[in-house]
Amino acid sequence: MKKLSILMLAFVLLMSGCSLEEAAEHITREVSLWDKEDPNESFVPKNLNIVSIGDSLTQGVGDSTEKGGYVPYIEKQLETLEGIKDAEFHNYGVRGNRTDQLLKRIKKKDVKASIRDSDVVFITIGGNDVMKIFRENLSNLRLDVFEDEKRQYQSRLNEILETIRNENPEAGIVLVGLYNPFNTWFSDVQEVDQIIHDWNRASQEVLNDYDKTLFVEIDDLFINTGDTLLYDDYFHPNDEGYKMIADRMFIELTNGETLATLTNRKKLLDEEEQSS
């Protein structure tokens, strides 16, 4: 890890404290979970209430429109679905947030109220937890340090999910994975890819203990793309990067009955049909 330590030191000094963010095919499918050849006359599309929480990928650092990164793209895509009238987002993304900071924020009155009224909660988190380890161990970076911290990260992520579930037992939870923004700088350093891979697997392990959850993997989107998907800081996604993240989220959400399961929409529609 000596080579990694030297390279990371150079990068962190260059970035002057910039936080790591987590920032399939590049396609957009308009798939409706509720397509019907002859929709029931009583069928009325419903609003979808979504809370987005997390770090700069949710805040939208690097988004030239300053409208919330991936949010406006996934919002527009969701509204193409026949069962959704409006996808209403409440964005609580804050640049630099780690899991410990997010855990405090979701316990605030306004965030709790939004979660309580939501159908789905979108989360981007974990990248700054990784970056904190890089910064604190630059002189002696070892994979076992990341292993120790990963277990603590899992514990905090579990508490975040518990907090959301306590506020809203029915809401679906979607966690967007981490990507490696260092590929442009350190494409020959395999340890970084391994660390990102391990932390993504750790996140999935936590989600597996909860119903109505979805993990969206995005790390492959940023491999072998150079800086074409990154903002001017070569760190956060640019507009195209955010669009690709949203595309991946939409594909995963519209895989089979995933979105219907996350939002209880299938049950709701069944009840409408029975009462007609």
CATH code of residue 16: 3.40.50.1110
Residue 2 has pLDDT above 90, yes or no: no
Query: How do residues 179-213 score in pLDDT, each as one tens digit?
Result: 887 765 555 567 788 889 999 999 999 999 999 99
Query: How do residues 137-158 score in pLDDT, each as one tens digit?
Result: 777 767 788 888 999 999 999 9
Helix ranges restricted to H, the chain = 2-15, 56-59, 71-78, 99-105, 109-116, 127-136, 143-167, 190-207, 239-253, 258-263, 265-275
The DSSP letter of residue 20 is P
For helices 109-116 and 143-167, angle between their N-to-C axes, nearest 10 degrees? 70
The DSSP letter of residue 69 is T
Report the range out of 8-17, 66-75, 189-198, 229-238 with the highest average pLDDT: 66-75
Q: How confident is the model at residue 134 (pLDDT cuts 50, 70, 90)?
A: confident
Number of domains in the chain: 1
Q: What percent of the chain has pLDDT over 90?
A: 53
What per-residue confidence (pLDDT) applies to 9?
53
What residue numbers bound the domain in which 150 lies?
2-33+42-275
